[in-house]
Amino acid sequence: MGVYDQSIAVFLAPIKEFLADESVTEVLINGPKEIWIERKGKLTLTDVHFHDETALQAAVRNIAQYVKRTIDNQNPQLDARLPDGSRIHAVLPPSARKGTTVAIRKFSKAADLSFAKLISFGSISPEGAEFLTLCVGLAKNIIVSGGTGSGKTTFLNLLGGLLPKDERLMVVEDASELQIDAPHVVCFETKAADHEGKGALTIRDLVRSAMRLRPDRIVVGEVRGPEALDLITVMNTGHGGSMGTTHANTPTDALVRLETLATMGDTSIPLAALRRQIAGAVHLVVQAKRLHDGSRKITNISEVLGVDEHGRYETQDIFKFVQTGIDENHKILGRMEGMGIIPTFYEEIEVNGLSFDIAKFGTPPKPKYPKTTTALNTASGHGAPAAHGHAPAAASHAPAPASANNPAVAAAMAKLSPAQLAQLNAGAAKAGMPVQAYYQALIKQQAAKKNGGQAA
């Protein structure tokens, strides 16, 4: 029996069974006499307890010593990774008024993670999973956003396992949690300062080191400080396919969060320029949420389009979880659905010989705009241009007639509904353009808009 196992057996004996129980995802200790566990997303108060505060503090101090951290009256907080990969955070009295307060969050082993399981749980749709798999292969920069306990790290773990096997991946974390299954992974973990205040290594320090170590991609486990600026720089300087997580409630909030954190690192960058850099760096935001029934779901897969004329971030949901009701057991019913929006980089999927049926993006939303504008946009499956109340600018820059014979565009058009084709024909006639060229112009307008947003 190892030293850590001995510590578990002696000091953590009251919660040992919960740490070994794979159905328990979190153990919460609110002082020696109150212990809760999370199982299947629901919290339950247990009937076990520590003998007294002294015994609980002895357990926490023993763990801190084992992981080479300090927790005492001068350093009353502990944030660390346990040898089994679990994450522990503890706070000592008097700040913790009920007694020493501890949260131990357990994580699934990498081998247990798969899109197939998430699909079976209803956490994501098959179409959403397939789309994200393609996006990782296309080296799209992805931010996974969500609240505490929403499953951000678990999902980032899964995305990391989809990386091409011939790429060199750098993983930077505060406390190591990711267990990415890839052949060439280099992992870095922050280091606290010693008792003299020296020797600290921050996430920002490690991201900068990672950039000098020939990475193909860099993954930051959680962006919560000025390292946001460095991750944005990574994404904008040839390290496509980089990823990270951040705390936010919506995709747009995630971009604002990155902006706020980035200004902590360099306040000399003009806000307008910083926003354009963020919008140009991040291609997709994946929103994870823990719903009130305890289930964890991917609620949005959103594309970042750029920054509008007012300096606001523009995003569009490619896939979104749509709730349809609640069953007799108070479980949320619903499904992730395509929003009828074709991503601006759809042509990259075809050019790279990848296959994704355009019909999987769903049916375009019902028009909410005047007929003179919606007829031009609904047919293409793009709602964003119509929202500005004018015809697509791309229509005034028609491609050469030869481009109207693009087989990929023709194949995409073949999947449109009769109603969509009718609207497309009407719009092309009004613009005086061949139908295929007009459809292609609609798609390219969105791509041009995003590229324009990347300029500093």
Nearest 10 degrees: CA dihedral of 194, 83, 76, 96?
170
What are 193's two structure tokens?
A: 């300062």
Look at residue 112 in the predicted model and tell me its pLDDT: 64
CATH 3.30.450.90-classified regions of the chain: 3-105
Which pLDDT tens digit goes with each residue over 251-268? 999 999 999 999 987 778
The structure tokens 């809760």 sit at: 36
Q: Comparing C-alpha atoms, which of 167, 168, 189 is closest to residue 178?
A: 189
Given CA atoms 20, 23, 25, 29 in this order, what sign does their dihedral have? negative
Q: How far apart are CA 99 and CA 74, in angstroms?
A: 17
Cβ atoms of 428 and 438 within 8 Å: the answer is: yes
Please check the confidence at residue 404 and state whether its pLDDT lies above 60: no
3-class SS of residue 244: strand
User: Interior CA angle at 401 toward 396 and 406, to 5°?
Assistant: 105
Please check the confidence at residue 206 and state whether its pLDDT lies above 90: yes
3-class SS of residue 334: strand
Model confidence band, residue 368 (pLDDT cutoffs 50, 70, 90): low
Which pLDDT tens digit goes with each residue over 107-144? 666 446 789 999 999 999 999 999 999 999 999 999 99
CATH class of 3-105: alpha beta
Q: HSE of 37 in the Cβ direction (CA atoms, 13 Å)? A: 19
Which pLDDT tens digit goes with each residue over 302-333? 999 999 999 999 999 999 999 999 999 889 99
Q: Comparing C-alpha atoms, which of 377, 359, 381 is closest to residue 428?
A: 377
Average pLDDT score over residue span 187-213: 88
Look at residue 318 in the predicted model and tell me its pLDDT: 97
Look at residue 365 in the predicted model and tell me its pLDDT: 65
Model confidence band, residue 86 (pLDDT cutoffs 50, 70, 90): confident
Alpha-carbon 88 to chain mean position: 22
3-class SS of residue 201: strand
Helices 251-263, 271-281: axis angle to 10 degrees equals 130
Please check the confidence at residue 400 and state whether its pLDDT lies above 60: no
Q: How far apart are CA 401 and CA 388, in angstroms?
A: 28
What are 252's two structure tokens?
A: 């747009």
Model confidence band, residue 155 (pLDDT cutoffs 50, 70, 90): very high
Alpha-carbon 291 to chain mean position: 17
Q: Which residues contact 326 (CB under 8 A, 6 or more apart)?
A: 293, 332, 333
Look at residue 4 in the predicted model and tell me its pLDDT: 62
**How large a percentage of the chain has pLDDT more than 90?**
56
Q: Which residues contact 152 (CB under 8 A, 6 or more apart)?
A: 144, 145, 146, 222, 245, 288
Look at residue 35 in the predicted model and tell me its pLDDT: 97
Q: How far apart are CA 390 and CA 340, in angstroms?
A: 20
Q: Which residues contact 34 (CB under 8 A, 6 or more apart)?
A: 45, 49, 98
The structure tokens 């080296």 sit at: 139
Look at residue 397 in the predicted model and tell me its pLDDT: 39
Q: How far apart are CA 102 and CA 91, in angstroms?
A: 7
Please check the confidence at residue 392 and state whether its pLDDT lies above 70: no
What are 178's two structure tokens?
A: 């990711």
User: Interior CA angle at 200 toward 194 and 201, to 5°?
Assistant: 150
Q: Which residues of 52-86 are buried (b: 16+ CB within 10 A; e: fewer)?
A: ebeebbbbbbbbbebeebebeeeeeebbbbbeeeb
Average pLDDT score over residue span 32-59: 93
- Tell how many helices (H) and how many strands (E) occur in the chain: 15, 15
Q: How far apart are CA 442 and CA 405, in angstroms?
A: 16
Please check the confidence at residue 376 and state whether its pLDDT lies above 50: no
Look at residue 193 in the predicted model and tell me its pLDDT: 80
Average pLDDT score over residue span 349-371: 79
Judging by DSSP bridges, how do beta strands 185-189 and 169-173 pair with one another? parallel
Q: Which of 16-20, 98-102, 344-348, 369-373 has the lowest mean pLDDT?
A: 369-373
What are 41's two structure tokens?
A: 């997303």
Fold of 110-339: Rossmann fold (3.40.50)
Question: In this structure, how many other beta carbons lie within 10 angstroms of the beta carbon of residue 116?
Answer: 10
Model confidence band, residue 191 (pLDDT cutoffs 50, 70, 90): confident
CATH 3.40.50.300-classified regions of the chain: 110-339
What are 162's two structure tokens?
A: 């989809």
Q: How far apart are CA 106 and CA 21, in angstroms?
A: 10
Given CA atoms 56, 57, 59, 60 in this order, what sign does their dihedral have? positive
Q: Which of 144-158, 285-299, 350-364, 423-437 has the lowest mean pLDDT?
A: 423-437
Q: Which residues contact 24 (CB under 8 A, 6 or more apart)?
A: 18, 37, 38, 39, 106
Q: Which of 253-267, 272-286, 406-420 has the lowest mean pLDDT?
A: 406-420
